[in-house]
Amino acid sequence: MNTARSLLAAALLVLVGSVGCRSSQKSNGLTTVKLQADWYPQPEQGGFFDAVARGFYKDEGLDVQIVPGGPYISGDSLVASGAVQFGMNSSDHILESIANSNEPLIAVGATMQHDPQGILVRADSPVHTWTDLNGRTVAVKPGSTWWEFLVRKFHLDRVHEIPATYSVANFLEDPNYIQQGFVTSEPYFAQKAGVPTRMLMNSDAGFDPYRVFYTSIDFLHAHPDVVAKFVRASVRGWRDYMKDPAAANAMILRLNPALSPDWMQYSYTALKKGNFVTGDDASGALVGQFDAARWQTMYAQLLGLHVLKRPIDVNSAFTMQFLK
């Protein structure tokens, strides 16, 4: 994500903390739960904000607090410890957290059917395939599993890897600069500065995790009714958001002053055009859903990369019992 989203972070912690939130366990007859976001408020979280704005959580008897994320916030440990009840991340990350950190996590629904992440290049770049990256410098987050996958699959043994800066400043200054990015974010800033772009999407390369929301095993076992309500309202929110984002986007814009209406519209359009939330079924039937075979494929890929410290039962990392 772009560094602009870290502006006014302290203010966001206060502002977002007030969204649908009460400090007591029960407020106005509603059960309070917290959702730890994976970044500051943005359209990529729109379905959850839609469920708050339109009262879908309230309809289920829930008072949901959406807690802002950031570069130094670990949702895994917060969910595992019970400090928050739900979190957002990707399916590969959930598998790694379980296998490598013994975090008792379980994914309960898909935020996106595909991850909108990849490699950003200029429109006139000679890089058109992954193998074209050999001999070039690429800015990526150190230790990124998706990058390890690309390096191994496409034999990128002559790539010079440098740390990502989470900004497009270097990209705009250097015509040869290549970096990681989200199709919903970085291309907007580059094109606004007059630099047309293209992206090589990780999903097209065969690394295709879900974006998920998850809880802890303990919370699921102790409160399956609350989990069921949260999943129902969240999926309803995402379906509604992809049809009409107005209510959620108004809330997101109010909570994150670093955003702008045109940036939000760009992100939303990219989500919709790329079918990231709905998948290939425009009816919305796939919103929130999992395919067990895709979890197996991701697990096999992680084993092949040797990024898992121990084998696990991949079926224990997710559940479809609430996805009706």
In order, the DSSP letters of 26-88 are: EETTEEEEEEE-SSSS-GGGHHHHHHHHTTHHHHTTEEEEEE---TT--HHHHHHHTSSSEEE
DSSP state of 214: E
pLDDT at 276 over 80: yes
Confidence (pLDDT) at 16: 41
The residue with greater pLDDT, 11 or 62, is 62
User: Which top CATH class is 3-114+209-317?
Assistant: alpha beta
CA distance 284 to 263: 24
User: Cβ–Cβ contacts within 10 Å for residue 163, how many?
Assistant: 9
Helix (H) or strand (E) holding 140: strand 137-140
19 pLDDT exceeds 50? no
Token pair, residue 252, equals: 């997101």
The answer to which of 19-28, 148-157, 278-287 has the lowest mean pLDDT is: 19-28
Tens-digit pLDDT profile for residues 246-266: 999 999 999 999 999 999 999
Judge contact between 64 and 95, C-beta under 8 A: no
Position 21 scores a pLDDT of 40
Q: 2-16, 156-170, 189-203, 298-312: which range is least confident on average?
A: 2-16
Is residue 9 over pLDDT 80? no
Which residue bears the tokens 């440990």? Answer: 77
d(CA 184, CA 72): 22
Among the residue ranges 23-37, 80-94, 159-173, 220-234, the one predicted with the least confidence is: 23-37
Averaged over 210-234, what is the pLDDT?
98
pLDDT at 166 over 90: no
In contact, 278 and 287? CB cutoff 8 Å: yes
Q: In the predicted model, what is the mean pLDDT of the chain?
A: 92
Domain 3-114+209-317 and domain 117-205 have a common topology = yes
Question: pLDDT category, 1, cuts 50, 70, 90?
Answer: very low
Of the chain, the percentage scoring pLDDT greater than 90 comes to 88
pLDDT higher than 60, residue 163: yes
What is the pairing mode between strands 211-216 and 105-112? antiparallel
CATH number of 117-205: 3.40.190.10
Q: Where are the domains of the chain?
A: 3-114+209-317, 117-205
pLDDT at 25: 59
| Average confidence (pLDDT) over 218-235 | 98
| pLDDT value, residue 8 | 39
pLDDT for 70 equals 87
